[in-house]
Each structure stands twice: as structure tokens, then as C-alpha cells.
Amino acid sequence: MTQRLITHLRHVDLAVPDHAKQLDFFTNTWGLTAEHTDSGLTFLAAEGSPEQYVVRLRQATDKRIDLISFGAANAADVDTLAAKLARDGVRLVHEPRDLQTPGGGYGFRFFDNEGRTVEVSADVAVRTHRKIEEGESIPVRLSHVVINSADPEGTVAFYDKHLSFSLSDTLMHPRMGSMMWFLRTNAWHHSLAIARGPHPSLHHASFEMRGIDEYMRGTGRLLRAGVEKIWGPGRHMAGNNTFSYFLDPHGNTVEYTTELELVDEDTWHPHLYDFTQPEVSDQWGTANAMNEFVASRSFNDPDMGLFVAPPV
Ligand SMILES: [Fe+2]
């Protein structure tokens, strides 16, 4: 294995046409905490997470993923990775420098193979976080981000070759072939996954809850609030995590999950799962059936920010 310089997933940043509506959803319904707010720019923290923020919202005409952000262990690793990417011909948005976002730190940005803006940073100040209490159904941390790709094989190869992500498992369909690749950058089964889709876009962002009870309470709160549920509740085979998927006010899919598997990286062998087998998608048998209509709800709108760096 080549040396892994990325330690973990930090945050996912979204641009939305209606910032106020999205902020209301993420704070009052989803359970994140608005830590820093400027006009049209909000940094949302998960109470259980040491990250300064796990989601950033920016008011913009064009809906897009602004940024997917990963952590590195220290500034030297940030420099090493930036130099390696530049050498490999990856387009940097900017070289490593001090960051102006909450918590500061040192980082750089680049475009991935399909033009998503990715940030890698180190030395960001730790947020004062707390233990989530029994029965408290708010996110502990950002679990993982899944992206749609029009060239998933190329995107998986990019994150493997340039960023040393490892394949944990793959989902396949008997006629359509491989459909989703789960990638890890630490012992968590996946921090990133790549889905075959019609265009690059956000497939979903997933938030880890304290445990099964808190995950179910959160799921119920969203149902009672009338938020559209796409799929769940259930438990996947790949990653062994639970899932409840909802649509946010802008049609992005967001997920409550818990008990994502920690793998033994020395002995792990990736599986190839046929997701048309009911127990692969839904071990418990409690979720609504997965079909093409359900799957298409997470295709999302084409990302309007490809190869365009966000202004902040
Ligand atoms: Fe997920």
C-alpha cells in the first residue's frame, strides 16, 4: 500500500439557492448546530465531533458541492501530498497556505478527475465537543459522503492512485455491472463512496448517530416532520451500517446512520455484493423495496460547480 496521507473526512460544503430554508432544515430538523454565521455563509457543527464544522452552507444561484474536505496529520503531509498531486498532473486550485475558515489550519485545494473541488488540511483547531447523551437523536459526526460519477471507474482510480483510498466493498447488479464502490482512508469501512450516476453530483451525505435507539428516534422525528423519506430504515450488508435516507429542501439526500463497521485493514478482503439480493441492501427486511425509482431520487441535479472553485 502506498503511504496514505489523508487521515479522515472533515466536512462537505454545499451551495444552495435558499440558504435560510436549508439552514432551518439542518439546525431545527436535522440536529446540527450553527457555529459561525455570516450573511449567506454558515458553518454547521455536529455536537459530538471535534471538527469545527461538518457542513458549510453558502447562498448561491447555482446549487453545487462547493467542497469535500479531508484531514491530514500535519503540515508536512499537506505539502507532500500537494507536491505529489502537482507532479502527477492534478490541477491545484491553490498551493498549501494558511486557511481563513473557522479553526484556521493549513491546506490546499485541487480538482478531482471530474472537477469537484477537494481540500486537504491539517492543524485546524479542535472544536469543544461533548458526549451525545442517551436518547439524544442528533448527529455525532459526519460519517461519509457518497458522490455520483458519470465515470465511476475513472473516479475510483483517481482516489486510489492520487489519494491512496482503499476499496472496502463493491455493489453490483447482474445486468448493469458494478454500481457503487466503498472507499476507506482509515479503519472505518467507508468515508467516501462512488456511485454510478448520470452526472457528477452529490449522492448523499451521511451522519453518524449515537446508537440504534438514537438513530431510530432521529428517523421518527424526520418522518413526523413530514420530510420525504426515500429509503429505510434498514441495515446494509456493505459496512453493516443502518440507513434512513431523506431529501433536504434542495433535493440533496441526507442519511442518518449508526454502527458503521470498523475493518481490520491487515486482513480485509473486499466483497462484490449483488444488491438485487434483498439481504444485501436491507439485512433486516424493514426498508421499502429498492427499485429504479428509489435509486433515481439520489441522482440529484447535475453539479453546477465542476472545475470552478468556490469563492470561499
Ligand atoms: Fe450512506
| 147-188 pLDDT tens trace | 999 999 999 999 999 999 999 999 999 999 999 999 999 999
CA of 145 to the centre of ligand 1 (A): 7
CB 35 within 8 A of CB 127: yes
| 68-99 pLDDT tens trace | 999 999 999 999 999 999 999 999 999 999 99
38 band by pLDDT with thresholds 50, 70 and 90 = confident
For all residues of the chain together, what is the average pLDDT?
A: 97
Residues with CB under 5 A from ligand 1 (ion): 206, 255
Lowest mean pLDDT among 25-29, 118-122, 155-159, 293-297: 293-297
For range 300-307, the mean pLDDT: 97
CA of 100 to the centre of ligand 1 (A): 30
Q: What is the dihedral of CA 256, 134, 24, 307, to 10 degrees?
A: -40
| 236-248 pLDDT tens trace | 999 999 999 999 9
24 band by pLDDT with thresholds 50, 70 and 90 = very high
**What are the boundaries of each domain within the chain?**
6-122, 141-299
* pLDDT value for 291: 87
37 band by pLDDT with thresholds 50, 70 and 90 = confident
The reply to whether 6-122 and 141-299 are identical in fold is yes
* pLDDT value for 266: 96
CATH class of 6-122: alpha beta
CB 108 within 8 A of CB 122: no
* pLDDT value for 36: 83
Q: What CATH number matches the domain at 141-299, 3.10.180.10, 3.90.1150.10, 3.40.50.970, 3.40.50.720? A: 3.10.180.10
* pLDDT value for 86: 98
CA of 89 to the centre of ligand 1 (A): 31
- The cell for 259 is 454502527
* pLDDT value for 1: 54
CA of 205 to the centre of ligand 1 (A): 7
Query: What predicted TM-score, i.e. pTM, was given to this entire model?
Result: 0.97
CA of 134 to the centre of ligand 1 (A): 23
CA of 245 to the centre of ligand 1 (A): 8
CB 139 within 8 A of CB 208: yes
Report the distance separating Cα 182 and Cα 152, nearest Å: 11
CA of 284 to the centre of ligand 1 (A): 16
- The cell for 19 is 440558504
* pLDDT value for 2: 66
CA of 131 to the centre of ligand 1 (A): 23
For range 5-16, the mean pLDDT: 98
Report the distance separating Cα 175 and Cα 9, nearest Å: 33
For range 3-17, the mean pLDDT: 97
CB 178 within 8 A of CB 274: no
Report the distance separating Cα 192 and Cα 160, nearest Å: 11
| 272-286 pLDDT tens trace | 999 999 999 999 999
For range 206-210, the mean pLDDT: 98
Sign of CA dihedral 15, 215, 71, 104: positive
